[in-house]
Amino acid sequence: MTPLATTPGVDAPTWPDGFAERYRKAGYWRGETFGGMLRERAAAHPDRIALVDPAPERRTWTYRELDERADRLAAGFAARGIAKGDRVVLHLPNVGEFFEVVFALFRIGALPVYALPAHRETEIGYFCSFTEAVAYVIPDKHAGFDHRVLASRVKERTPSLRHVFVVGDPGEHTALAEVACDPSEVPSGEGDPSGALSCPEPHELAFLQLSGGTTGVPKLIPRTHDDYLYSLWGSNEICGVDADTRFLVVLPAAHNFPMSSPGWLGVLYAGGTSVLCPGPDPATAFPLVERERITMTGLVPPLALVWTEAAPGSEHDLSSLKLVLVGGAKYSEEAARRLSPALGCRLMQVFGMAEGLVNYTRLDDDEETVVTTQGLPISPDDEIRIVDDAGLDVPDGEFGHLLTRGPYTIRGYWRAPEHNATAFTEDGFYLTGDIVRRTASGHLVVEGRAKDQINRGGEKVAPEEVENIILAHPSVHDVSVVAVADAYLGERSLAFVILREGAGPLKPVAIKRFVRERGVAAYKVPDLVEFVDAFPQTGIGKVSKKQLRSTAVAEQH
Ligand code: OOB
């Protein structure tokens, strides 16, 4: 067994030297950094449009503008003492400033921690304290929610958190608009973004992504410049992304799928244009597709369904659309078959994970393959194992647990040695928790999941996290949260609750309200609540979630 290497400052197991060398030699890891990538693109085609933020009034960023603004913001961050390796929790919706901040942080080697717009105080408080973040970046208000109030509360109890930067009206915090300064004003040695000292190395961390999660708290995923950049240009080759690509960022820009598969980062890598979509519904997105001549986008299955249904009757010209990627959750074959005719473009299925491995159906796959499989890995060096419960490889065509290792799949979560011991094999394979089979052509078909997780149309819920919250309710004795089938989302969540003896009758809504009031992302509030007297048990006395799930399914029909 090869011992896992740990790069100082990375705080997580990383690729052993032999592997790293192999990935460099094979040309996967090209020794680039994100900061350097933008600088090169800005020099090569300064006046091309990199970004369009259409709302409330249309703003654009050329490659040169994005590069210069990132430099000025990097200088401002450095002047405030934000330095290489520092963590910064980024909690912005799809607005242009998101990209300025990300590239400013890349440039000084500070690490964005990508929170999702739906996250609330519980998640944000945890990200800030666990990562010992020095800064938190927010909008003033978004979707009716005042982020400044949340920020004040989190700042009060997080000693490391020195700065809150606000896009818009800052209230008691600092306006992001006031942070940027001339790079020459920053004394050298304090992270001058143009100075070599502060520049991250390609093998170092670029950012921390969030895991979908199966445990009480989400795990953080450390991605390096080398490995993530490979997933970008590898995706670009498969999806045909080039300088003419006009990508609509429909899903939250902070999620791995719209970021890198091939996503807005892939499109920037190729010199194309990303257009930010203020909302995912056809009424918002279709006019933008027409006006901005969008060629490509990425959707989760429930959205793909809504778009498929809305397109035929739409008055908008969607003919610029060439490719729609669908992934994040299982896309039913029937729904997949209807997409291309309705939208007049190609479909590509994506089965990926923030931990690394991404599979795509290919542009030259026949229709059957595109609608019935979840694709092939990006890299010839993505190692795929499909094993039975005993860990033995199963033959092609049979279902088993998917294990993977490769040039852009992490070898361990950030600061989580105990969890890493069970989430990875000793020889570095990541246990994805997905049940798949491999077809004769090597395509993977996702059949289900062994991990305790609910996939609400691409939004991942860790039952344990929700159970812990509900257990804090004074009337609750025990709780078990499971997935139930749902025609639109694929799955939704059901909390089975056993009340304490003597506790008065409770309505489902009281449990839902209790969860919501704890300040968590709305998608974690159980969709359904059912009160029961006892849970079915397994042979060794554990709660049988399998049996609970089947009870629920039976009751739905
Ligand atoms: C993407 O990333 P995550 O980290 O939010 O979730 C990963 C998990 C996978 O392990 C699998 O359980 C599920 O989401 N999943 C799919 C799927 N794509 C993801 N299950 C069935 N069919 C699919 N097509 O979700 C993600 C990251 C990059 C690209 C695309 C999706």
β-strand partners of 5 = 14
272 CA from centroid of ligand 1 (Å): 25
Rounded alpha-carbon distances, angstroms, from residue 479 to 204, 499, 532: 42, 9, 9
pLDDT in tens, the chain (557 residues): 444 555 556 699 999 999 999 999 999 999 999 999 999 999 999 999 999 999 999 999 999 999 999 999 999 999 999 999 999 999 999 999 999 999 999 999 999 999 999 999 999 999 999 999 999 999 999 999 999 999 999 999 999 999 999 999 999 999 999 999 999 887 665 444 444 346 799 999 999 999 988 888 899 999 999 999 999 999 999 999 999 999 999 999 999 999 999 999 999 999 999 999 999 999 999 999 999 999 999 999 999 999 999 999 999 999 999 999 999 999 999 999 999 999 999 999 999 999 999 999 999 999 999 999 999 999 999 999 999 999 999 999 999 999 999 999 999 999 999 999 999 999 999 999 999 999 999 999 999 999 999 999 999 999 999 999 999 999 999 999 999 999 999 999 999 999 999 998 999 999 999 999 999 999 999 999 999 999 998 888 888 888 888 877 555 44
CA 409 to CA 223: how far, in whole Å?
Answer: 9
Closest atom of ligand 1 relative to the 209 alpha carbon: 4
Q: What is the residue-wise DSSP string for 276-293? A: E-S--SHHHHHHHHHHHT
User: For the chain, which residues make up each domain, given as ranges?
Assistant: 34-44+57-200, 226-450, 453-556
CA 100 to CA 96: how far, in whole Å?
Answer: 7
The matching CATH number, chosen from 3.40.50.720, 3.20.20.70, 3.40.250.10, 3.40.50.980, for 34-44+57-200 is 3.40.50.980
To 10 degrees, what angle do helices 225-239 and 263-270 make? 80
Q: Using a 6 Å cutoff on CB, does residue 259 contact ligand 1?
A: no
Q: Using a 6 Å cutoff on CB, does residue 257 contact ligand 1?
A: yes
Closest atom of ligand 1 relative to the 325 alpha carbon: 30
The matching CATH number, chosen from 3.30.2130.10, 3.30.465.10, 3.40.50.12780, 3.80.10.10, for 226-450 is 3.40.50.12780
Instruction: List the residue whose alpha carbon is closest to atom 3 of ligand 1.
Output: 353
Q: Using a 6 Å cutoff on CB, does residue 358 contact ligand 1?
A: yes
Mean predicted lDDT score pLDDT of the chain: 94
Q: Which two tokens stand for residue 207?
A: 């950012």
Q: Using a 6 Å cutoff on CB, does residue 409 contact ligand 1?
A: no
β-strand partners of 356 = 353
Q: In degrees rounded to 5, what are phi and psi of residue 432?
A: -70, -25
CA 45 to CA 537: how far, in whole Å?
Answer: 63
Instruction: List the residue whose alpha carbon is closest to atom 6 of ligand 1.
Output: 353
CA angle, 7 then 356 then 11, to 5°: 25
What length is written for the chain? 557
Q: Using a 6 Å cutoff on CB, does residue 351 contact ligand 1?
A: yes
Tell me if residue 366 falls in helix, strand or coil: coil
Q: State the CATH architecture for 453-556.
A: 2-Layer Sandwich (3.30)
Pairing of strands 459-461, 454-456: antiparallel
> Is-same-fold flag (34-44+57-200; 226-450)?
yes
Q: Using a 6 Å cutoff on CB, does residue 228 contact ligand 1?
A: no
Q: Is 327 exposed, middle or buried (0-12, 13-18, 19+ CB in 10 A)?
A: buried
Per-residue pLDDT at 196: 36
Per-residue pLDDT at 79: 96
* Nearest CA-CA partner of 524 in 90, 118, 143, 208: 118
Pairing of strands 174-175, 163-167: parallel
Tell me if residue 8 falls in helix, strand or coil: coil
Determine the residue of 261, 299, 351, 446 to mutate for testing ligand 1's pocket, defined as the one with the most ligand atoms within 8 A of the Cβ atom.
Answer: 351
466 CA from centroid of ligand 1 (Å): 20
Chain centre distance of CA 4: 25
Name residue, tokens 């090869």: 2
Sign of torsion over alpha carbons 473, 474, 475, 479: positive
165 CA from centroid of ligand 1 (Å): 31
Name residue, tokens 């005993």: 390
CA 443 to CA 487: how far, in whole Å?
Answer: 26
366 CA from centroid of ligand 1 (Å): 23
Chain centre distance of CA 174: 27
Closest atom of ligand 1 relative to the 374 alpha carbon: 24
Sequence letter at residue 506 = L
Q: Is 238 exposed, middle or buried (0-12, 13-18, 19+ CB in 10 A)?
A: buried
Per-residue pLDDT at 300: 98
Q: Using a 6 Å cutoff on CB, does residue 41 contact ligand 1?
A: no
Q: Is 150 exposed, middle or buried (0-12, 13-18, 19+ CB in 10 A)?
A: buried
Under a CB-based contact definition with an 8 Å cutoff, are residues 545 and 462 in contact? no
Alpha helices in 206-281 (DSSP H): 225-239, 256-260, 263-270
